[in-house]
């Protein structure tokens, strides 16, 4: 039980780093990037509800948690590839106002 509590606490601590990264990466589209990230997280949680008991029924709960832990490690490694200094979109006067002001 203590392991589950520690895992939930670690998850809450890591969440605080997600939102600033979406603001850095998304720039003026930070709301869209945050929404897509949050939607992906919720879809992942919903999809996980089906295979988790199936894996547990065939291989035991330990195997089910090991699969979940492996996916978490893969996600953590994928986060290392995110470069918050590099925005997804280049912000220009044209993208902000709809007019190309680069000729001014």
Per-residue model confidence as pLDDT tens digits over 49-100: 889 999 999 999 999 989 988 988 898 888 888 777 776 666 555 555 554 4
- Cα–Cα distance for residue pair 89/91, rounded to 1 Å: 6
**pTM of the complete model beyond 0.75:** no
How large a percentage of the chain has pLDDT more than 90?
16
Report domain extents, the chain: 2-85
Position 94 scores a pLDDT of 54
- Closest alpha carbon to 21 in 42, 37, 40: 37
Hunting for tokens 């007019």 — which residue is that?
99
Residue with tokens 């003026």: 28
Residue 104 has pLDDT above 80, yes or no: no
pLDDT at position 98 is: 52
Compute the mean pLDDT over every residue in the chain, rounded to the nearest whole number. 78
Contacts of 37 (CB under 8 A, 6+ apart): 18, 22
């Amino acid at each position: 039980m203590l392991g589950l509590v520690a895992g939930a606490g670690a998850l809450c601590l890591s969440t605080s780093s997600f939102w600033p990264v979406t603001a850095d990466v998304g720039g003026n589209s930070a709301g869209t990037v945050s929404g897509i990230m949050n939607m992906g997280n919720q879809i992942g949680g919903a999809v996980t509800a089906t295979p988790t008991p199936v894996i547990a029924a065939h291989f035991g709960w330990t195997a089910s948690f090991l699969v979940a832990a492996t996916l978490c490690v893969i996600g953590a490694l994928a986060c290392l590839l995110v470069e918050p200094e590099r925005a997804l979109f280049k912000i220009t006067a044209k993208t902000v106002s709809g007019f190309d002001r680069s000729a001014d």
